Homo-oligomer: A and B are copies of this chain.
Amino acid sequence: MPDFTKIFEYISENEYPFITRLAEAVAIPSVSGESERREDVVKMGTWLSEQLTKAGATDVELKPLGKEDNGLDLPPVVVGRWGTDEKKKTVLIYGHYDVQPAQRSDGWWSKPFKLAIDGDRLIGRGSTDDKGPVCGWLNVLDAHREAGVEIPVNLVFCFEGMEESGSIGLDDLIKREADGYFKGVDAVCISDNYWLGTKYPVVTYGVRGVSYYEVAVEGPKADLHSGLFGGIVYEPLTDLVHVFSQLVTPQGEILIPGLQDMVAPLTDKEDKLYDTLHFDLSELEENVGAKTVLQDSIKKAMQARWREPSLSLHGIEGAFAETGAKTVIPHKVIGKFSIRTVPNIEPRKLDEIVFDHVKKSFAKLNSKNKMEVSLVHDGDYWVTDPHGWSYTAAVKATKEVYGVEPDLTREGGSIPITLSFQNNLNAPVVLLPMGRGDDGAHSTNEKLNLTNFIKGSQTLAAYLHYLAE
């Protein structure tokens, strides 16, 4: 077992400089989704590249990604290295330096871009998603450099600035650099998700995919007055509601024939992983804010979240959506729904059975309106072996720091870039989160616990050492 004493001590004794650096990062409002903030996103990329260089990284570069559709320059991907020893394994470290939008008026108790400290909580936009974890890696570099401990693997950094806006350009860059900057990568570590609850650390081995669909129903050439036309025309919204009612039951059962057949059967081994989760129904109900969970055990609920498909109706474009009472017959409505995908749902096969089912449902209505169903976007699921070597290193590191076996979790939401790294670099990916389940990543008063910042940094450090074992 590696000796972590010096590393861990350095990290736990340097809370204040680490907090100061995180505060600097939070102070740059690098909101990738707001074009007027694009300069700040670029500024944040530059700041990060300078930090890497200062910490001792080499070959630090800002890789341009070209332009966005709106004409704006995409923020660059910040890359860098630590070590080039051919005898060592090479780990790619991914993170993102852009953040979600935030305004005081959304309900923040403090200024979102000024890190506030409230007891153990470091509050600010990006504190947990994903500036905290990115700074965690800087902490790791500082600790090894200052404590004079060698990092037993080579590191390649890859920090993007468009994650919150669809990671535009990153997939292409990974493909392009697979035999270039990223050549020789043996494993990938992503710290951009969260613990299941608030007390127990986790290591994550899978995410669901998502396929997002639209159903457009169109009839009259313009919106009609229901007094004049109610009862004498086929109404697009009525048709859409009937089609939607044929997609999923209130109990969450998906009514698309053939879908459930594609879902991988639950093995005993996998089933057992759900027996030891440190999370319970009441915590889940607290997240929901109501006792409206479909399942009667946390095991079944987490299986539904992580390894079963689900279908959610999101809304309708073109219908009356305001407060008040408008007597309109909308002439064209676009219903939106998505399906969360899991092994072994094949996206193109899914599209086929979705389209087929929607078309048949609509045909049964005998309506004279026109219907079109289409895929808006999709991202595949990802699952790795929770007993593989890189994953095992992450589990050991977490246990080393927190003193308990971490929960082995998946995520219900998709992280598309995970799959891109795995496929293009042909390397196992592990998701090793730093923050807690209640951090409120995309919400108001986003926070990262100082405990998690410090122990999380120690965990990242330990992971590198266990990787080399």
Contact = CB atoms under 8 A, between A and B. Distances in A.
Given A208-B227, A227-B412, A245-B245, A237 B366 contact: no
A422 interface: no
Interface string A298-340: 0001001100111111111111111101111111000010101
A73 B212 CA distance: 50
Contact of A305 (B210, B222, B231): B231
Interface in A216-255: 219-222, 224-235, 237-239, 241-242, 244-245, 248-252
A451 interface: no
Nearest to A321: B321
Contact of A314 (B233, B320, B366): B320
A338 B327 contact: yes
A413 B242 CA distance: 26
A2 interface: no
A92 to B, nearest CB: 24
Give the number of times this chain occurs in the complex, counting copies: 2
Contacts of A214: 325
Nearest to A304: B231
20 contacts: A208-B227, A212-B327, A220-B289, A221-B288, A226-B312, A226-B413, A227-B414, A228-B413, A229-B412, A230-B338, A232-B295, A234-B250, A237-B314, A238-B313, A241-B245, A313-B319, A314-B319, A315-B326, A317-B322, A317-B323
A233 B293 contact: yes
Interface string A92-115: 000000000000000000000000
A136 to B, nearest CB: 23
A166 to B, nearest CB: 10
Q: Size band of the A side of the interface?
A: 35 or more
B312 A321 contact: no
Interface string A408-430: 00011110000000000000000
Interface in A334-349: 336, 338, 340
A368 interface: yes
Interface string A275-305: 0000000001001111111110000010011
A266 interface: no
A312 B232 contact: no
A244 B316 CA distance: 14
A234 B309 CA distance: 15
A452 to B, nearest CB: 19
A331 B251 CA distance: 16
A312 B329 contact: yes
A241 B313 contact: yes
A293 B338 CA distance: 32
